[in-house]
Amino acid sequence: MMVTFNEVRVFLWSWIPTGKAYAAITLPPFGIFMRKRMSPSGLGTEEGFKRLLDHELIHWEQYRRWGLLGYYGRYLVWLVAYGYKDHPMEVEARERSGIQ
């Protein structure tokens, strides 16, 4: 399933290109990939799914802010420097959406 939301393509798939621990991933310029089972028709609640989408939309905003290379460049360099939990882009997304 695919929907377009705020000019962003959102793919609701049973398999997404992440490790099993992650429920969603934002991969510009393609879109946001979310696990189908996280949706309200799966195991997720509407509120939880909305927050998850909000989190991913903040990553999309970061991509719009820095461009494609700026987005992936910062993501990779800061992942090495800070790890996932303290990653500045994750901290921003977490703080503004209320979800990890």
- Contact residues: Zn ion, CB under 5 A: 90, 93
Q: Which is nearer to Zn ion, 12 or 59 (CB)?
A: 59
Q: Least distance to Zn ion from the beta carbon of 90, Å?
A: 5
- Give the shortest CB-87-to-Zn ion separation in angstroms: 8
Task: Decide whether 8 or 93 has the Cβ nearer to Zn ion.
Answer: 93
Beta bridge partners of 39: none
CA dihedral 63, 98, 18, 79 (to 10 degrees): 60
Helical (H) or strand (E) element with 47: helix 46-82
Q: Which is nearer to Zn ion, 39 or 62 (CB)?
A: 62
Smallest distance, Å, CB 55 to Zn ion?
Answer: 5
Residue 10 CB-density burial (10 A; 0-12 exposed, 13-18 middle, 19+ buried): buried
